Amino acid sequence: MFKKLLRIAPQLESDGSYSPSKLALKLAVSPTTDYEPISYQPYEGEKCKIAVIFTEQKNMTMKNGKMFSTGNHPVEAILPMLHLKEAGFTFEIITPTGKPVAFEMWAMPDEDTHVINFYNKYKKQFQTPTRLQDFVDHSLRQDLSYAAVFIPGGHGAMLGIPEDVNVGKALHWAHDKGLFTITLCHGPGSLLSTQLDGNEFIYKGYQMAVFPDSVDKQTPMIGYLPGSMPWQLNEKLIDLGVVIVNKKSDKTTCVDRKLITGASPLAANELGKLAANTLLKEFS
């Protein structure tokens, strides 16, 4: 009752999971974004596709047993895609089993027409994505038209994706073929998949921007999360030799070789611009 009065009680959803408290939503979610349309010279070459690997899982079980209602953060997914689309790139929407993309709909910026229009335009693809196994079986061997793999953030990127051998295969493929890998916030959890099946973690020694563990440890206090995280992303990456360049959940972005990363939802617009310009410079 005390938490409800202070508006810091996580909000119970119909499936038994919890979305952020009213206070957390007020502090962390904006009805608009800082997206700025940019006039790029669109890419017209053969490497025009970007494989976008989303999570299809919605609920993260916290240490206390409560479920956090998560998925992919819409801003972290759509802002980079808006820039990449304007730069002339197209998308293949992918989930591990072909089930619909899970979005944190409570984080949707409902007054941002650029985001809403993009979401509505691609809604059918979000609902009927390619199955990751099919992408691995066919595109990795036969299709030479890809420029990058993009894995958006949101806490949902830590569900299933880091333990999926096919995510690891896709990332090894991008790395070996000299393609770019783009990710942000909790999305770098996907990079852990490269060490599956006895493979070497391919990002040892890389610099990257990642959502800080320290912030995840604080957010339960305002009801953003309904409990402590099941595991710490920064901790796992650092143990594998990653150098994390940010300490705050801010607009930090980073490019190290063919890996492009961002620190948080606040970095989504900057990451989009950086990714678009980097890919255009590389492939044009």
Tokens of residue 198, six digits:
């006895």
Query: pLDDT band at 4, cuts 50/70/90?
Result: low
Query: pLDDT band at 143, cuts 50/70/90?
Result: confident
Q: Is residue 37 part of a domain?
A: no
Which amino acid is residue 36, in one-letter code?
Answer: E
Beta strands in the chain (DSSP E): 11-12, 18-19, 49-53, 59-61, 67-69, 90-95, 130-131, 146-151, 180-184, 207-208, 243-244, 253-256, 259-262
137-140: long-range pairs with CB below 8 Å, 24+: 139/51, 139/92, 140/169, 140/170, 140/173
| 259-262 and 180-184 beta bridge pairing | parallel
Query: Per-residue pLDDT for 139 more than 90?
Result: no
Q: Which residues contact 72 (CB under 8 A, 6 or more apart)?
A: 54, 55, 101, 102, 103, 104, 152, 153, 154, 156, 157
Q: Is residue 173 part of a domain?
A: yes
Query: Does 48 qualify as catalytic in the annotation?
Result: no
Q: Is residue 235 part of a domain?
A: yes
Residue 247, CA atoms < 13 Å, CB-side half-sphere: 0
**pLDDT attached to residue 5:** 47
Query: pLDDT band at 144, cuts 50/70/90?
Result: confident
Give the CATH number for residue 141: 3.40.50.880
Q: Is residue 22 part of a domain?
A: no
Q: Is residue 119 part of a domain?
A: yes
**pLDDT attached to residue 24:** 96
Q: Is residue 21 part of a domain?
A: no
Q: Is residue 99 part of a domain?
A: yes
Backbone angles phi, psi at 223, to 5 degrees: 80, 15
Taking only the tens place, the pLDDT of each residue in 102-113 is 999 999 999 999
What average pLDDT does this structure show over 84-89? 98
Find the domain containing 267 and state its range.
55-64+74-82+89-283
Whether 107 and 152 have beta carbons less than 8 Å apart is answered as: no
Query: pLDDT band at 2, cuts 50/70/90?
Result: very low
Q: Among the options 179, 185, 259, 274, which is catalytic? A: 185
pTM value is 0.96
Which percentage of the chain shows pLDDT scores above 90? 95
Query: Per-residue pLDDT for 244 more than 60?
Result: yes
Q: Is residue 33 part of a domain?
A: no
Instruction: Compute CA distances 54 → 36, 38, 149, 247, whole Å.
Output: 24, 25, 11, 26
Q: Compute CA 50 distance to the chain's CA centroid, rounded to the nearest angstrom.
A: 14
Maximum Cα–Cα distance across the chain: 59
Q: Which residues contact 218 (CB under 8 A, 6 or more apart)?
A: none
Q: Using alpha carbons, select from 230, 178, 190, 181 the residue that is nearest to residue 63.
A: 230
Residue 257, CA atoms < 13 Å, CB-side half-sphere: 13
Looking at the structure of the chain, the number of domains it has is: 1
